[in-house]
Structure 1
């Protein structure tokens, strides 16, 4: 019979695995909780802290790819570049996550990942203006990528580039994103091979799906609603799930309709403020 390993035992095994991205999704969820707990007590800057942080990043790349998939048709950028931008959001989520809140890391991290990708698309001015720091990093990145690709016989990882360039992984990702600033196309550019011979790029750019935006809002709201007390969550459930009137809610809770109205306004204000802070 194959022995069942504890979370700690699997975590010890993981230290011998060259690529943490090969961990199964089920184990990744369990090990993520374990490494987040370790990260909370380790001293920042130590080798153990860096190992735990890097392992969390590698194990949760699938979350970034999941969030990035919805942006596949948003423009000429390569999907891998979008994923690299999403990794910045993942890193921010890891650094800001609080184990004591008892919120699922998936629900907590998705808004950060999507937010970084959205900011990337908003920063289209990079096609005409790139900070000098990133211009220099872009040249260094190209040289390091060529050197490592020749040496390893494959495309280098962000961690390998970071070590060779003596930069943080966040800075390497920024340099990769900055490279897109030198590749832009006009929306009026003709598309070769089109049936009528007159189609332009703008003809093939679709509009945003409002339903997808709603999914993102649900993910962002989940931890905020989780932090509410039981009565506040009940009020929201009665009003927006069961669609009860304020008078019906007041009768259920033994309070006046006016009191229900004030409570709802206060609750919605807190949630709006929380969403604005997260975004």
Structure 2
């Protein structure tokens, strides 16, 4: 295995690569020319650099970040705003730019991404972050289970369908599809199968007539006739679970549990 920085003058450069959820893989290097290794061309991007990487042998979360100028055509402001990099897997490491021997120093996913017209910065999350999640259920009046997910018991296939895009309103960030009942998709999801935001997931945050309002900006160029995958939504209330889905037996909430103010109440007829 190649040992880096074991000599006074080393032919080393940093690299990082991004694997987006829509299937696009991008590679970059701080070297002054493109480097191809591991079956991927890493394009020269001296203006984009990993920040300090902290790795520990204990269970504490490793930290890293990446930042750069929006001067590279592979990372554009519109793509960041459209969420194409949200949740993308990322690897960062060091490579010998003569022999292409390399070593991955950090692997994780993109967390919070901040950007403006001139540059961007991204928080990276390692697999250790899963150890910090609290998996102990808490009481709540609404269902804690993800709709059609673990604990819900309903089939995702049953409530997922494909529809044809018939209209787009970029000002309202809304879309309309043929042959659907828009009311069923409030709190649901939309995923386009073609176009500039292929594979990106959108949450439906509102509905007006035939329109579905989405939670993130739509990119110009979304063509009428594009096929999308739609998942119905659920407001996680017991009434909806029982009446619409006949699934009250799997309801993961406590709608009738007394609130914290119970102990502060005076009993009726006392005093």
With structure 1 as the length reference, what TM-score do the two structures score?
A: 0.24
Query: Higher helix fraction: Structure 1 or Structure 2?
Result: 1
With structure 2 as the length reference, what TM-score do the two structures score?
A: 0.24
